[in-house]
Each structure stands twice: as C-alpha cells, then as structure tokens.
Amino acid sequence: MQTENLFQPFAIEFKTTDDCPVKPHKHTFFELVYILDGKGIHHINQNKFPYEPGNLFLLMPMDMHHFNVTTTTSFLFIRFNNVYLNAQKSSDKGQLGEWIQKLEYIFQNSSHPEGCILRNPLDRPLTKAVLDAIMLELKNEQTLHQELLQQLVNTLITIVARNISLIVRDTMPAATQQHMSMEMLHYIHRYIYEPEKLKAEAMAAHFNISLNYISEYFKKHTNETLQQYIINYKLSLVTVRLAHSDMRLNEIAWELGFTDESHLTKTFKKYKGMSPAAYRKNLPAIAS
C-alpha cells in the first residue's frame, strides 16, 4: 500500500481524468477533494460513496481511498498538514489564532462521516465560490499569489470545520459540550477499534478519574452510560458499512470488536429493531 507524504505546509492540484487518478493509497496529511465535474464512486476505508459535482470530501491522515470514474471527472485536491495549521495559529494571537487552534482540535479529534462533508446547504454555494476563486488564482498568478491562496484555503478549512462542528453538535446532547466529557467522547472515537482501551479501567486511568466515578460522570454529562455510548457509536459505524460496503457480517463483527457474527446480529437487532441482514436488504426503503 503506497503512503504519500506532503513536504510543504499546503499544496493544490487540479486534475481531469477518465480513469482513476490514483491507485488505492494512504497519506500522512489532510486532503480535501472537491468534485468540479463528473460522476463515479469514491472508495474510502472499504466504504463506497457515489460522487457528483459539488461534493467535498475530507480525508484524514492514514485514510485509504481511491476513485472509480464513471464519467470524465475534474478533481481539485487541497492538501495540508499540522505544520500549516500550527503556522496559522501562531501567526495570529487574536480571534483568528484562537479559531485556528479550534480547527486543529476539531480535525485531530472529531469523528466525521466519510461521505460528502457539506451538511449545511448554505455552505454549498459558498464553498463553490471559494473554490472557483482558488481555480482562478491558480490560472492567473499575480502579485501576492501565494498569500491569497493561503487565505482562500483558510476560508475553505473554516467551512469544513463548521460542518464537522454542526454534525458533532446535532448528534450529541448539549451537555456534552463540556470539557472532559468531550475529551472522553473523542477518546472513544479514536480507540473504537481497540476494545481494551475502552474498558472503564483503562479510561479511568487515562483521565485520572476514580473507577467508581467515571461511569457516573459520563452519564451526568451525556445522558448515556459509558457502555451505551460505546455500543451506539459502534452500531452507527455498522450501519455505514452495511450501507456503503460489501463487507460480510463476520468481517464487520471482527473489525468492531463483537465476539462473532451472532453477537453482532443480536446486539444490532436489540437496538435497531431488525437484523443487520434485514437492514441491508431494506436500505432503499429505510432511506426513503
């Protein structure tokens, strides 16, 4: 598996192709992929997402992805890394600097859907306008070219961060916007594939909280028990795989730490009211 690196704070690439522009690969940086024209399938971490003009995808470091191009597609790739985020943060000590610091935290810690990141309808025309400006500046390099591109990239990153923040806010109780409870949620998202680190003993040690108090603290700030939240988050990942991948149930069970396929089926049915197989079979009806 090829792993790409970025040796500058940010980079922009425009590409039009009838074929997959890159083979399945990973990279050590953040990448925004905007679809200017064309249709096809974007494969991200074993999941499949149809793409069309106006879609914007955010790829995190070490995400694996590639494209199957159905019709001639124009891509705009915008790549940036922690060096870029840290540079923006340190260059402004006021409100912008504080916001960039929040962006860094959001990108590093938030779980986000792997499909099109634009969930706020009002941000779609704004995103297109920013990316049109980036394309224009790439074609006509003028005085302060790099500085203007940097400001446009900052604007785009801010739009993405707002959409991630909206998703996080809309899917969690307002009380979870508090300090350590949010840290706990991000910890769960990060280690959802490592069951040992999600045990109450491990989390209590990590957050320096009494083992007898951690469950009470978590429920107080999220209205869910620690175990309930972990199960619900796992099942949300299961539904993504059922909807957007061809993974077998035993593969999903193994990936997400269920004992076996039977354990996954029993848990899914308890919380979702149907078996995983029935959910996958009835996806068109569920989506409508």
Domains by residue range for the chain, with CATH: 2-170 (2.60.120.280), 175-287 (1.10.10.60)
Q: What CA dihedral angle connects 37, 134, 45 and 47, to 10 degrees?
A: -30
Reference 242, options 286, 277, 284; nearest CA is: 277
**Total-model pTM:** 0.59
Give the CA distances from residue 159 to residues 37, 131, 227, in Å, rounded to whole numbers and listed in that order: 21, 12, 33
Cβ atoms within 10 A of the Cβ of 175, count? 11
What's the CA gap between 230 and 198, in Å, rounded? 8
pLDDT at 215: 85
Q: Could you tell me if 107 and 30 are in contact, meaning their C-beta atoms sit under 8 angstroms apart? A: yes
Residue 175 in this model has a pLDDT that exceeds 70 = no
Could you report the per-residue pLDDT of 231-286, keeping only the tens digit for each?
998 998 898 888 888 889 999 999 889 999 999 999 999 999 999 999 998 876 55
Could you report the per-residue pLDDT of 36-63, keeping only the tens digit for each?
999 999 998 888 899 999 999 988 877 8
Tokens, residue 64: 């694996």
Q: Which residues contact 104 (CB under 8 A, 6 or more apart)?
A: 82, 85, 86, 89
